[in-house]
Amino acid sequence: MASKILMGDMPELMENILNNLKNELNSLYSCVLVSRHWCKMSIPILWQNPFSFNQKPLFISEYFSSLDEDEIYILKEYGINLKISRKLFNYAKFLKDLNLFDLELNAREWTNLNLVEPIKSIRYFNTLANVVINLILKLIFESGAVLHKLVLSLSESFEFKPEIFYSIGRNELLFSRLQYLSLSVIPDFYIENFTIFLKVLAKNITTISSLKLEIYSDYEPQLFHSLFHAIIRIIKSQEQLKQFSLVGEDHPTEFYGIISALECQKISLQEVIINKCTYSKEFEVLKDFRNLETLRISNCSSKLLNLLDCKISTLEVVSCSIDVQTTPLILENSGLLLQRLSFVPEYLGEDIHEELFFLEALKSFCPNITYLELKYIEFSIQLLELICNLQKLQFLSLWYFVDDDIPEEELKIRVIKFAEILPLTLQYLDLGNTWQPYIDIFLNHCNAPLKKLLFYHLDDEKLTRALIEFCIRNKALNYVGVYRHSDLDENFRKEVEAHVANVALVSCARIIVNLT
């Protein structure tokens, strides 16, 4: 089989292999050099999203090798030293993910790198950068590119030129497979120009499955009426909108009919994400979302939970106050279907009775949870009873606080009990920074076959020895994540690595959660 792949006899399999390398640029570069066939298959993947590369944007010069003489002359008049070389591919055609914010950053850096002389005037530089950005967009839109993802987040100095809208019309396939659209609607940033672009989008896209909106509160209704109307048209024209995300940058109270427009997507919508939004009657449309599977709300009023009238499998509540009446009802309604729960309350231990009521409801109604994140919750007997009841748990992130009245010996007993009751299905455990004084006790009594373990700091010999013994005892463990990895004592690191070969000691940021 390997020889067939090398000779290009299995192109679909080869393409799948290369797609798995799309975030590993060095590996893709190596594939380009293997053979002509590998080069032809690797280049399109390498150029799917070049604006996300964390490198100097020299690739823009490759794009500009397609410019005509008039466009080259315009850049030279602005003082751009453009060297045109013969290109091997139509690179712009391979673009699939377009983030205009990333594009603008790259265009500005490329402009600085290619100036014959430095420009002192900020206004003049912004004008030149605007020319460069529009030329890049024109090349992309006319290249035959078919976008899958589009992020519209613009600076106040950017403006679409009229020829961009003409270029969109010349490529009927440009938005024909668009699946993800993100819009950041910032007041006073060329709103009329932005609105025209959205109207063009509304006429050309029907395939979006995921839509994200970022809005503010200080809009002038007269100026923004057309813009919000265009957004509503986009929402209503989609055939299968499955995910909707709304971010209010400053807790807006008015949503201009955008939320109400979701009524037409009530059959297809499966996930709703709401962040930093003040409660509005428009949200009552959520009552009709019978097929909703996932709800994520953060920094919002708990009134939003009151509207939920369906069984969901994933619930995320972050920085919202506990509603002692509503939350248990949601847990009871979802019952056996609820598999993933993230609960991070707004205040630390604001009302212990509400917290215990929540834990009791979770234990009684939701035994099938596989993913559980609980933060700023008391390390109580009721919490231990809940963990003991979740025999299908695979992921657990638990950051607790302790009642000052609990004796030290009682607390140690609870830590031991917690370690002993962890289910054998558990693969990932994040203990955060609150467990630090008792990590060694936990490790000495834990027999769960963890694959990934995260805690705050490896800072003494006793903890190091307990970790080594745990790693030796637990053959399934692959990664130990340390939040303060940059402060890790080199002697402790070497001691762990000397005794344990199959476990990587890494920063928590490097550990990826992938539960299917």
pLDDT digit string, tens, across residues 52-75: 988 899 899 999 988 989 999 999
d(CA 341, CA 393): 11
Local confidence band at 4 (pLDDT 50, 70, 90 cut-offs): very low
pLDDT of residue 436: 84
What are the pLDDT digits (tens) for 129-149? Answer: 999 999 999 999 999 999 999
Residue 113 lies in a domain: no
Q: Are 285 and 263 in contact (CB under 8 A)?
A: yes
Distance of alpha carbon 229 from alpha carbon 111, whole angstroms: 36
The answer, yes or no, to whether residue 282 has pLDDT greater than 50, is yes
88-97, 202-211, 489-498: the lowest-pLDDT one: 489-498
The Cα–Cα gap between 12 and 28 comes to 17
396: left (phi over 0), alpha (psi -120 to 50) or beta: beta
**Stretch 417-441: mean pLDDT, rounded?**
93
Residue 90 burial class via C-beta count within 10 angstroms: exposed 0-12, middle 13-18, buried 19 and up:
middle
Q: Could you tell me the sign of the dihedral formed by the alpha carbons of 473, 477, 479, 481, in that order?
A: negative
* Averaged confidence pLDDT in the chain: 86
Q: Please give the distance of CA 367 from its chain centroid, rounded to a whole number.
A: 28
278 occurs within a structural domain? no
Residues 377-404: what's their mean pLDDT?
Answer: 91
pLDDT at 79 (0 to 100): 92
| SS3 state of residue 69 | helix
Query: Whose CA is closest to 476, among 389, 394, 414, 370?
Result: 394
DSSP calls for 205-245: ----SEEEEEE-S---HHHHHHHHHHHHHHHHH-S---EEE
Closest CA to 418 of 403, 437, 431: 431
- Two structure tokens written together for 185: 């609607």
pLDDT of 320 over the 90 cut: no
Beta-carbon contacts of 68 under 8 Å, excluding residues fewer than 6 positions away, are none
Choice among 41-45, 90-94, 186-190 with the minimum mean pLDDT: 186-190
Is residue 28 predicted with pLDDT exceeding 60? yes
Over residues 393-418, the pLDDT tens digits come to 999 999 888 777 888 999 999 999 99
The tokens describing 339, both together, are 């598999």
Residue 26's CB is within 10 A of a number of other CB atoms, namely 8
Residue 404 falls within a domain, yes or no?
no
Is 223 part of any domain? no
* Residue in the structure block whose two tokens are 């209010």: 248
Contacts of 407 (CB under 8 A, 6+ apart): none
State the residue range of the domain holding 497.
427-516
Q: Quick one: which of 283, 333, 293, 332 has its CA closest to 315?
A: 293
> pTM for this one?
0.87
Rounded CA gap, 371 and 487, in Å?
30
DSSP 485-503: GGG--HHHHHHHHHH-SS-
340 in a structural domain? no
- Number of independent structural domains in the chain: 1
Q: How confident is the model at residue 386 (pLDDT cuts 50, 70, 90)?
A: very high
pLDDT of 400 reads 83
For 229-269, the pLDDT digits (tens) are 999 999 999 999 999 999 987 788 888 899 999 999 999 99
For residue 66, give every residue at least 6 positions away whose Cβ sits within 8 Å of its Cβ, in sequence order, or none: 87, 90, 92, 139, 143
- Could you tell me if residue 455 is inside a domain? yes
The predicted pLDDT at position 302 comes to 74
pLDDT higher than 70, residue 29: no
> Residue 461: inside a domain, yes or no?
yes
Contacts of 316 by beta carbon, 8 Å cutoff, 6+ apart = 294, 295, 296, 297, 298, 340, 341, 342
CA–CA dist 205, 214 (Å, integer)? 20
Orientation of helix 191-204 relative to helix 221-237, angle to 10°: 20
- Average pLDDT on 427-452 reads 92
pLDDT at 479: 92
Confidence category of residue 85, pLDDT binned at 50, 70, 90: confident
β-pairing, 97-99 vs 371-378, is: unpaired
Does residue 458 carry a pLDDT above 60? yes
Nearest CA to 511 out of 442, 436, 452, 440 is that of 452
The answer to whether 299 and 320 have CB atoms below 8 angstroms apart is: yes
Type of residue found at 473: R
Average pLDDT over residues 82-93: 83
Q: What is the pLDDT of residue 1?
A: 44
Q: pLDDT tier at 368 (50, 70, 90 boundaries)?
A: very high
Q: Return the higher-pLDDT residue of 354 and 21.
A: 354
Tell me the mean pLDDT in the region 443-448.
95
Q: Is residue 196 a contact partner of residue 229, using CB atoms and an 8 Å limit?
A: no
Residue 446 maps to a domain: yes
